[in-house]
Amino acid sequence: MALFVTLAIDGTIGMVLTYALLIAFVVSLLMTLAVFRSIKVSADLDRYAASKGDTVTFEIRISNGIFLPAPLIEVEVENSAHFSSESENIRQAAVTGKSTNTLRFSLKAIHSGKAHVRINSIKITDYLGIFSFKLHGENEEMSAAIYPVIPELSVLTNLVKVESQFSSNDDEEESEETSAIPTGLAGYDHRDYVPGDPLKRINWKLSSKRDVLMVRLDERIRGSGRTFLLDCPVAEENDETLTVRDNVIEGALAFLCSLLAEGRDASFFYCKQGLLMSIDVHAMQDVYQLQEELADLEPCDTLSVLSSGPAEFKGAPICFTAAMGGNSSSAEGIVSRFPDSMIISSHCASLPLISSNQWVLSDEFELDKA
């Protein structure tokens, strides 16, 4: 435009306009570089643990250390598939002299596990909008633990039915053995009856003496705890793989609750940070502890972890696997190592048939034979 004015309208005005534009360009560039060096960026999450369905806020604070107002600053964030963004991932802001502006990005937790959110890029554009520069603070990553859900026991009738096939204690008849000690039967332990306990575990003789229903926890039941193994193989984290992972983790927690309701215990093995971890489940607080441990779970190579250290399994484990069709090597390796193990996968994993004792877990946490 300046060239057109110089050649077609008035040379003097055109030159003045040209000089003005050049000066404005130089001043804009120098001011932008001065502000660029004074801008500080920090990021934080308002919470580092959340339940599925909760909203987590990712805050980015942009501070200007000099009196010059900052030109337009563009911030782009990137989050893992554990989160669903409730706002635009690209936001723009301006910062006046010696002040701070805060951008807030709302993220909804939709999948359990260790979730990530980071600053993907921060760009500052000069006042004329000609050049842009990348600010420091990129790739600053934050993580949050998203708790899996513990399903209600009311939907687990089929789980209890299937689990009963792996125990010989369900057909045990109540002993008529007497005892001189006040707990009832010799070597047996009891507790008060709670709704949901199987009626065949009620010790009617002791209950009549105490005038309160008592449930028998004999040595055979206490020694019949099942061994569980969680297999979460390494895979690209997207909505599909995380949905499968949620289904098997929450199904495993539901299974443990169903065992506790029958007065049984369990040992639960899982891999975390390259190590084989375990929790003995005897009461609901143990399930809550396991829920907390699995909240920041990251995928790992289960077979290599099992090979690096001996696992004290009581017979063949019940394996909840997040393996999927096309990525089933971990589940196949577990079947090869424990041929009699029970394999449980998610119905949406499309896991091929790798064992004669393979089951599929539905969204309602019901089991069907694969």
Domain boundaries, the chain: 46-147, 153-167+224-369, 173-218
Give pLDDT, residue 302. Answer: 85
Give pLDDT, residue 309. Answer: 56
Q: What is the DSSP letter of 81?
A: T
Token readout for 127 is 């006042």
Give pLDDT, residue 49. Answer: 94
Token readout for 185 is 């039967």
Give pLDDT, residue 131. Answer: 84
Q: Which segments in the chain show pLDDT lower than 70? A: 137-139, 153-189, 217-225, 308-315
Tens-place pLDDT, residues 65-101: 888 888 889 999 999 999 998 888 999 888 988 899 9
The hierarchical CATH code for the domain 46-147 is: 2.60.40.10
> Rounded to whole angstroms, how far apart are CA atoms 4 and 237?
56
- pTM attached to this predicted model: 0.75
> Rounded to whole angstroms, how far apart are CA atoms 322 and 328?
9
Give pLDDT, residue 312. Answer: 56
Give pLDDT, residue 134. Answer: 86
One-letter amino acid at 126 equals D
Give pLDDT, residue 189. Answer: 64
Question: What is the enclosing helix (H) or strand (E) of 302?
Answer: helix 302-308
Q: What is the DSSP letter of 77?
A: E
Give pLDDT, residue 81. Answer: 95
Pairing of strands 90-93, 73-79: antiparallel
The hierarchical CATH code for the domain 153-167+224-369 is: 3.40.50
